[in-house]
């Protein structure tokens, strides 16, 4: 920046539209959904600002209607990945020198495009490709993504403003350089906002990116690319490659210029990539930054003083919204014995009222899980729970993949706090309940802390402040996002920075400044005004 200390617009959270019957936004998204459902899209690779058709294609289908084809996408060969890396490094020459206000302008424009002309399209794409209801799509693909873009621009300027003290004889300046090399962004299927934010946050800080979206999110990834293009992200800055994740990752990690991984997805995939990076460490020009937000086994623990209706609502929303396919979804619940009967009654009533089907019918609360692999995995956990002596399916438990991958919201009850569904991440609409004796509150908190490998989100319910305080203390390391008397999902950018530790990630808190710090490498510049000319200090006499 040469000619002004510019201030960016103050970031505010994008208001969530209601999509109530008769509202204009509901009509628009319904129309867009139909148009997109009835047309076919072709998604090539995107390298150096050009679309590349490789001819090696796969089809995309709605999870709720798997025989319908939405379009095709192209898969990369090794040479395309190498081309993406080369083009990113070439693009870096200009992008890393671009003044920050120009980068800010591009991503602020992307936010406004999403808030306006692209809103219905990105929502419809997320409903079609990832089976989100309109409410879930609006919160994710529109609002959260808009928030990421607006808030990150503000956070970037706050970071740039952090400068060291200077004395009268010298001027100390911190320059926040992008990393030397390129960033590799690997994104999951379950959040359109995360898919866009992982490449965009690094690019905003002046980095260039090779982005590999999930095979199950390519449909909305294409809309993200269209928005970035129209907003003015220059060629070479964000390059998108799809295809075999192992080949793509090995090719990327073999480059000496690989300088950072921005990953969100499952724990075992991230650990394997970390290991590969370690194996290659002697080849890299710089120590790569490794950021990964991974799995969760998120808890609700309810004290005997908590309100049963509130607890049941938190389970219904926390476990079943988006079919439980949120890293933060409540999936193990510890309920005090004296309130369990009431919680069960309310939960049963809630589940009976939940309708399941296509997101096109906006009265549905439950839609399909993402793909057949996920469906089969969930069905087998449910079958096991039906036959295992130490578990019981007390609600739901049916599934059907004839048209879409539908799993009925399912509640398992167990008397074994280490039963498999109390420990494994299932990533579906299945929640397990463990009922504990009223006088075992403290013991149960330790049990919650010590069960499983994850530490992403968790919630404590109680009307007793001492009990809450015990929960806050004993569960200090059990969750990176901790909720008191609320469901453990629904973090908002700028309000609840998100991420967990242990096997849940590096806890670099997406939606805050902390994440952006990972994509910069500061240079300290000291300028001395009157430079010494004699080596002797006064004490030498």
Active site residues: 293, 327
Residue nearest to ligand NAD (CB): 265
Residue 179 CA to its chain's centroid (Å): 22
* Minimum distance of ligand NAD from residue 64's CB (angstroms): 17
Cβ contact 63:371 at 8 Å? yes
What is the C-alpha separation between 430 and 427, in angstroms, rounded? 8
* Minimum distance of ligand NAD from residue 467's CB (angstroms): 28
Give me the 446-465 binding string for ligand NAD, x by CB under 6 A, dash otherwise.
----------x---------
3-state secondary structure of 533: coil
- The structure tokens listed for 403 are 């048209």
Candidate residues 178, 265, 429, 511; the one interacting with ligand NAD per rule CB under 6 A: 265
Nearer to ligand NAD, 468 or 503 (CB): 503
b/e code 113-137 from CB counts within 10 Å (16+ = b): bbbeebbbbbbbbbbbbbbbbbbbb
Spell out where 64-145 has E strands: 71-74
Residues 181 to 200 in contact with ligand NAD, rule: CB under 6 A: 186-191, 194
- The structure tokens listed for 278 are 């370690």
* Minimum distance of ligand NAD from residue 147's CB (angstroms): 15
Query: Does 269 contact ligand NAD by CB under 6 A?
Result: yes
Candidate residues 65, 293, 360, 508; the one interacting with ligand NAD per rule CB under 6 A: 293
Q: In sequence order, what DSSP letters do the residues of 17-40 get, joined into one string?
A: P---TT-HHHHHHHHHHHHHHTS-
* Minimum distance of ligand NAD from residue 514's CB (angstroms): 13
Angle between helices 145-161 and 100-115 (to 10 degrees): 160
Candidate residues 131, 220, 294, 306; the one interacting with ligand NAD per rule CB under 6 A: 294
Query: Does 381 contact ligand NAD by CB under 6 A?
Result: no
Query: Does 507 contact ligand NAD by CB under 6 A?
Result: no
> HEC states along 232-270?
CCCCCCEEECCCCHHHHHHHHHCCCCEEEEEEECCHHHH
* Minimum distance of ligand NAD from residue 277's CB (angstroms): 12
Nearer to ligand NAD, 378 or 467 (CB): 378
* Minimum distance of ligand NAD from residue 74's CB (angstroms): 15
Stretch that binds ligand NAD, among 300-308, 355-363, 433-441, 497-505 (CB under 6 A): 497-505
What single-letter DSSP state applies at residue 415? S
Query: Does 375 contact ligand NAD by CB under 6 A?
Result: no
Residues 317 to 356 in contact with ligand NAD, rule: CB under 6 A: 327
The residues near 395 (Cβ < 8 Å, ≥ 6 apart) are 347, 348, 351, 409, 410, 411
Nearer to ligand NAD, 123 or 216 (CB): 216
Stretch that binds ligand NAD, among 81-89, 198-206, 292-300, 530-538 (CB under 6 A): 292-300
∠ CA 149-154-157 to the nearest 5 degrees? 125
Query: Does 170 contact ligand NAD by CB under 6 A?
Result: no
Nearer to ligand NAD, 96 or 496 (CB): 496
Of 464, 509, 414, 421, the residue nearest 304 (C-alpha)? 464
Binding site for ligand NAD (CB under 6 A): 186-191, 194, 212, 214-215, 245-246, 249, 264-266, 269, 273, 293-296, 327, 425, 427, 456, 498-499, 504-505
């Amino acid at each position: 920046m040469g000619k002004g200390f510019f201030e960016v617009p103050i970031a505010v959270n994008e208001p969530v539209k209601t999509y109530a019957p008769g509202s204009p936004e509901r009509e628009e998204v319904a129309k867009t959904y139909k148009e997109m459902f009835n047309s076919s899209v072709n998604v090539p690779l995107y390298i150096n600002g050009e679309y590349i058709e490789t001819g090696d294609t796969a089809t995309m289908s709605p999870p709720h209607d798997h025989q319908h084809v939405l379009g095709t996408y192209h898969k990369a060969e090794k040479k395309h990945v190498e081309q993406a890396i080369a083009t990113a490094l070439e693009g870096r020459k200009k992008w890393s020198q671009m003044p920050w206000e120009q980068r800010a302008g591009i991503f602020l424009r992307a936010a406004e495009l999403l808030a306006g002309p692209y809103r219905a399209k990105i929502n419809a794409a997320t409903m079609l490709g990832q089976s989100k209801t309109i409410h879930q799509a609006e919160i994710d693909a529109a609002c959260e993504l808009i928030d990421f873009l607006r808030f990150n621009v503000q956070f970037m300027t706050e970071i740039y403003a952090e400068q060291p003290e200077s004395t009268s004889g010298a001027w100390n300046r911190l320059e926040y350089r992008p990393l030397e090399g390129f960033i590799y962004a690997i994104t999951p299927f379950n959040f359109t906002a995360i898919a866009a934010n992982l490449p965009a946050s690094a690019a905003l800080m002046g980095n260039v990116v090779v982005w590999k979206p999930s095979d199950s999110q390519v449909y909305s990834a294409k809309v993200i690319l269209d928005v970035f293009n129209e907003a003015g992200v220059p060629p070479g800055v964000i390059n998108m490659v799809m295809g075999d994740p192992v080949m793509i990752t090995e090719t990327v990690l073999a480059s000496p210029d690989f300088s950072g991984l921005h990953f969100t997805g499952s724990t075992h995939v991230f650990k394997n990539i970390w290991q590969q990076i370690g194996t290659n460490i002697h080849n890299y020009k710089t120590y790569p930054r490794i950021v990964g937000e991974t799995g969760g086994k998120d808890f609700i623990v309810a004290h005997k003083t908590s309100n049963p209706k509130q607890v049941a609502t938190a389970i219904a929303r926390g476990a079943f919204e988006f079919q439980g396919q949120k890293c933060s979804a409540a999936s193990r619940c510890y309920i005090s014995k004296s309130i369990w009967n009431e919680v069960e009654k309310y939960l049963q009533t809630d589940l009976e009222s939940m309708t399941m089907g296509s997101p096109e019918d906006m009265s549905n609360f439950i839609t399909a899980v993402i793909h057949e692999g996920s469906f089969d995995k969930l069905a087998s956990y449910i079958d096991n729970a039906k036959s295992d002596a130490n578990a019981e399916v007390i609600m739901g438990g049916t599934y059907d993949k004839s048209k879409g991958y539908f799993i009925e919201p399912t509640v398992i009850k167990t008397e074994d706090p280490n039963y498999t569904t109390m420990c494994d991440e299932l990533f579906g609409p299945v929640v397990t309940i463990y009922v504990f004796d009223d006088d075992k509150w403290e013991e149960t908190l330790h049990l919650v802390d010590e069960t499983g490998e994850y530490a992403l989100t968790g919630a404590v319910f109680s009307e007793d402040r001492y009990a809450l305080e015990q929960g806050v203390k004993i569960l200090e390391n059990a969750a990176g996002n901790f909720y008191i008397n609320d469901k453990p999902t629904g973090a908002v950018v700028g309000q609840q920075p998100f991420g967990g530790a242990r096997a849940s990630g590096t806890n670099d808190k997406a939606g805050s400044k902390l994440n952006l710090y990972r994509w910069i490498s500061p240079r300290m510049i000291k300028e001395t005004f009157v430079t010494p000319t004699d080596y002797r200090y006064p004490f030498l006499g």
